[in-house]
């Protein structure tokens, strides 16, 4: 349930007034886009709309409220709590996580120093992506990633193209395992949340429910975070999002050799896609992962298409007719 | 009649002497206030340097570490920042310096320096914040040194002046 007031706090006074007067179901609101000297837009129920000055959603661009430099400046002040310096790392990555777990993407003039992105100034484009945690979306997959007696969890790789809900699924899997839902007993889960997407921590407090036995390293590089968690928090399961780099793979091998179970996500369309990846492919060929969950969004976001075991045997297939 | 004159003279001298003591107390209080301010700004520096704490939270944390007028000032800043009513940080900070620090012994220059601190807080990166705070600490330290150097002489001077003024008025009246 999205808290409307909590979300609207980040907007300038004028935008706040406009957005609060529109009759919207915030459960279906996906994005709010602010671009300098361009119409205020929202993505609502998978459709793009302009927001009119008469507090309505419209298709007519000429009726739309136009965003000024001042609106962007004021909104950025509120997003950053008057303290852009406190979000230097986030700005370098191009986003800030706000209360409620929503993701604010920003773009503008990038300042580069020694071939590294130092910061972004003249921020002129803001995209507020609303976080929607879907409790229960992992009900289908949890029986497949646990052994028959539900005591053992398998190393699992979630494979999905962007915007298909892999992080949403990972989040719910973590919640299930941590709370002991669908498995014999709850297990300690360590989450390395490099981009604050899984737990969406705001001032250290997870905004999404990840279960009662979950420890989170927020904004921490995945490879370092996995090692740190193993040494400090003794997790039984480690969960990470969007693996792929050489350092990630080395850390994964370390995790697996330490007796921890791993649940990770990766961008891709199929197991074969992953096999062809230069570094991650080796782990697949060595049958390190015991379960593969392949997702797509042809039916709806968060749709699980197929589940395979380590040898490539199909364990589940969605019978949705294309 | 003589007794009345003596009582009157004593009262005049006591009241002017009291005024001298009052002004010397203000001097001592100013030093106390500057020291407290210096301490708070050092904590703010730590909050920003060590934890990159955003200003509303940092100001709130500072408020828990002090009391009296400064606590009221910091809480007012935090409250105003929390309202998100379209005012800039500088505007809010300056407004609170003017409204909430009336009962302190800080002089005009001290308040001006404190107002100026707000001009660059929140602007640009962490280094900018630390430099701004360092500059302010240098300025406040200078003020503090000057005040401490001259306080002994000035206190004695004010006390003496108070009593002498009383005696002078008494002589004229008699």
- Which of the residues A5, A20, A84, A85 would you substitute to probe the B interface, choosing the one with the greatest number of B C-beta atoms within 10 Å? A85
CB atoms within 10 A of CB A237: 24
The pair of structure tokens assigned to A46 is: 């998978």
Rounded distance between C-alpha atoms, residue B167 and residue B174, angstroms: 10
The pair of structure tokens assigned to B126 is: 């962490």
List the A214-218 sheet strands across, edge first. Answer: A214-218, A189-193, A237-240, A261-267, A156-160, A291-296, A303-309, A314-317
Rounded distance between C-alpha atoms, residue A51 and residue A111, angstroms: 32
Instruction: Indicate the pTM of the whole model.
Output: 0.75
Whole-number CA gyration radius for chain B = 22
Contacts of A64 (CB under 8 A, 6+ apart): A39, A40, A41, A50, A51, A52, A53, A58
Contact B97, B118 (CB under 8 A): yes
pLDDT band at B159 (very low <50, low <70, confident <90, very high): confident
The pair of structure tokens assigned to A5 is: 């007031």
Whole-number CA gyration radius for chain A = 21
pLDDT band at A213 (very low <50, low <70, confident <90, very high): very high
- Cβ of B81 within 8 Å of Cβ of A203? The answer is no
Nearest-CA distance A259 → chain B (Å): 34
pLDDT for residue A260 is more than 80: yes
B107 — phi, psi (to 5°)? -90, 180
pLDDT band at B38 (very low <50, low <70, confident <90, very high): very high
CATH no., domain A4-129: 3.30.450
Q: Read off the pLDDT of residues A20-68 as tens digits, 9 standing for 90 and up.
A: 898 888 888 889 999 999 999 999 887 899 999 888 899 989 989 999 9
pLDDT, position B120: 82
Mean pLDDT (whole number) for B93-119: 90
- Cβ of A13 within 8 Å of Cβ of B85? The answer is yes
pLDDT band at B163 (very low <50, low <70, confident <90, very high): confident
pLDDT, position A2: 59
Mean pLDDT (whole number) for A6-13: 89
- Which of the residues B47, B122, B128 would you substitute to probe the A interface, choosing the one with the greatest number of A C-beta atoms within 10 Å? B122
Rounded distance between C-alpha atoms, residue B166 and residue B174, angstroms: 12
Q: Where are the domains of chain A?
A: 4-129, 142-317
- Cβ of A85 within 8 Å of Cβ of B48? The answer is yes
Closest chain A residue to the Cα of B125, Cα to Cα: A85
Rounded distance between C-alpha atoms, residue A212 and residue B89, angstroms: 39
CB atoms within 10 A of CB A78: 20
| A chain contacts of residue B57, beta-carbon cutoff 8 Å | 81, 203
Rounded distance between C-alpha atoms, residue B156 and residue B150, angstroms: 10
Which of A81, A70, A197 lies closest to A123 in space, CA to CA? A70
pLDDT for residue A241 is more than 60: yes
Closest chain A residue to the Cα of B87, Cα to Cα: A74
DSSP β-ladder status, A303-309 and A291-296: antiparallel
Which of A170, A280, A188 lies closest to A234 in space, CA to CA? A188
Q: How many helices (H) and strands (E) does chain A have?
A: 10, 17
DSSP β-ladder status, A156-160 and A261-267: parallel
Q: Which residues share a beta bridge with A317?
A: A306
| A chain contacts of residue B61, beta-carbon cutoff 8 Å | none
- Which of the residues B86, B117, B128 would you substitute to probe the A interface, choosing the one with the greatest number of A C-beta atoms within 10 Å? B86
Q: Which of B57, B84, B124 sits opposite A85 (nearest CB)?
A: B124
Rounded distance between C-alpha atoms, residue A181 and residue A183, angstroms: 5
Contact A22, A55 (CB under 8 A): yes
pLDDT for residue A307 is more than 70: yes
Contact A156, A169 (CB under 8 A): no
- Cβ of B54 within 8 Å of Cβ of A9? The answer is no
Helix (H, G, I), strand (E, B) or coil at B105: coil
Helix (H, G, I), strand (E, B) or coil at B127: helix
DSSP β-ladder status, A314-317 and A214-218: unpaired
pLDDT, position A7: 87
pLDDT for residue A149 is more than 60: yes
Nearest-CA distance B129 → chain A (Å): 8
Closest chain B residue to the Cα of A85, Cα to Cα: B125
Q: Where are the domains of chain B?
A: 2-173
**Residue B27, Ramachandran bin (φ over 0: left; ψ between -120 and 50: alpha; else beta):** alpha
pLDDT band at A301 (very low <50, low <70, confident <90, very high): low
Q: Where are the beta strands (DSSP E) in chain A?
A: 29-35, 41-44, 47-51, 57-58, 95-97, 103-113, 116-129, 156-160, 189-193, 201-202, 205-206, 214-218, 237-240, 261-267, 291-296, 303-309, 314-317
Q: Read off the pLDDT of residues B59-87 as tens digits, 9 standing for 90 and up.
A: 999 999 888 889 999 999 999 998 888 88
The CATH number of domain A142-317 is 3.10.25.10: no
| B chain contacts of residue A9, beta-carbon cutoff 8 Å | 84
- Cβ of B89 within 8 Å of Cβ of A85? The answer is no
CB atoms within 10 A of CB A303: 18
Asked casually if ipTM beats, i.e. exceeds, 0.95, the reply is: no
User: How far apart are the two ends of chain B, measured CA to CA in Å?
Assistant: 12
Alpha carbon of A154 to those of A41, A180, A186, A269: distances in Å?
A: 43, 15, 15, 21
- Cβ of B125 within 8 Å of Cβ of A80? The answer is no
CB atoms within 10 A of CB A52: 19
| A chain contacts of residue B128, beta-carbon cutoff 8 Å | 85
Closest chain B residue to the Cα of A119, Cα to Cα: B125
Mean pLDDT (whole number) for A122-149: 89
- Cβ of B84 within 8 Å of Cβ of A86? The answer is no
| B chain contacts of residue A88, beta-carbon cutoff 8 Å | 52, 125-126
pLDDT, position A201: 86
Nearest-CA distance B60 → chain A (Å): 13
pLDDT for residue A235 is more than 70: yes
Contact A72, A123 (CB under 8 A): yes
pLDDT, position B35: 92
pLDDT for residue B119 is more than 70: yes
Rounded distance between C-alpha atoms, residue A317 and residue A290, angstroms: 17
pLDDT, position B27: 84
pLDDT for residue A322 is more than 60: no
pLDDT band at A121 (very low <50, low <70, confident <90, very high): confident
């Amino acid at each position: 349930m999205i808290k409307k007031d909590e979300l609207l706090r980040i907007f300038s006074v004028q935008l706040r007034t406009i957005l609060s007067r529109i009759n919207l179901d915030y459960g279906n609101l996906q994005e709010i886009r602010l671009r300098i000297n361009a119409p205020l837009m929202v993505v609502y129920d998978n459709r793009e709309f302009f927001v009119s000055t008469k507090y309505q959603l419209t298709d007519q661009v000429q009726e739309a409220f136009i965003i000024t430099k001042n609106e962007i400046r004021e909104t950025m002040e509120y997003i950053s709590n008057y303290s852009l310096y406190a979000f230097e790392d986030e700005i370098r990555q191009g986003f800030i996580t706000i209360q409620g777990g929503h993701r604010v993407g920003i773009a503008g003039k990038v300042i580069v120093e020694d071939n590294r992105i130092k910061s972004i100034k003249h921020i002129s484009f803001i995209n507020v992506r609303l976080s929607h945690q879907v409790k229960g979306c992992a009900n289908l997959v949890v029986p497949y990633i646990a052994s028959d007696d539900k005591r053992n969890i398998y190393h699992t790789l979630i494979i999905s193209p962007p915007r298909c809900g892999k992080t949403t699924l990972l989040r719910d899997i973590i919640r299930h395992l941590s709370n002991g839902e669908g498995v014999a007993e709850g297990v300690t889960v360590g989450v390395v949340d490099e981009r604050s997407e899984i737990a969406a921590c705001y001032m250290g407090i997870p905004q999404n429910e990840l279960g009662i036995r979950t420890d989170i390293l927020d904004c921490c590089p995945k490879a370092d975070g996995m090692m740190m968690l193993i040494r400090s928090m003794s997790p039984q399961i480690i969960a990470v999002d969007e693996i792929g780099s050489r350092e990630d793979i080395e850390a994964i091998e370390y995790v697996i050799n330490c007796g921890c179970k791993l649940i990770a996500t990766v961008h891709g369309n199929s197991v074969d896609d992953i096999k062809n990846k230069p570094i991650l492919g080796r782990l697949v060929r060595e049958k390190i992962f015991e379960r593969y969950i392949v997702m797509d969004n042809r039916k709806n976001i968060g749709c699980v298409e197929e589940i395979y075991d380590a040898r490539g045997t199909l364990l589940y297939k969605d019978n949705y007719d294309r | 009649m003589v007794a009345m004159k003596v009582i009157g003279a004593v009262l005049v001298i006591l009241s002017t002497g009291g005024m001298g003591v009052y002004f010397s107390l203000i001097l001592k209080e100013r030093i106390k206030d500057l020291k407290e301010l210096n301490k708070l700004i050092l904590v703010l520096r730590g909050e920003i340097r060590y934890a990159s704490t955003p200003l509303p939270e940092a100001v709130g944390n500072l408020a828990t570490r002090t009391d009296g007028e400064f606590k009221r000032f910091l809480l007012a800043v935090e409250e105003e920042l929390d309202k998100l009513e379209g005012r800039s940080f500088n505007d809010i900070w300056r407004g609170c310096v003017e409204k909430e620090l009336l009962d302190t012994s800080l002089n005009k220059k001290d308040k001006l320096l404190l107002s100026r601190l707000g001009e660059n807080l929140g602007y640009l990166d962490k280094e900018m914040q630390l430099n701004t705070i360092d500059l302010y600490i240098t300025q406040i330290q200078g003020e503090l040194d000057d005040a401490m150097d001259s306080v002994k002489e000035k206190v004695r001077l004010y006390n003496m002046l108070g009593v002498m003024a009383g005696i002078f008025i008494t002589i004229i009246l008699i």
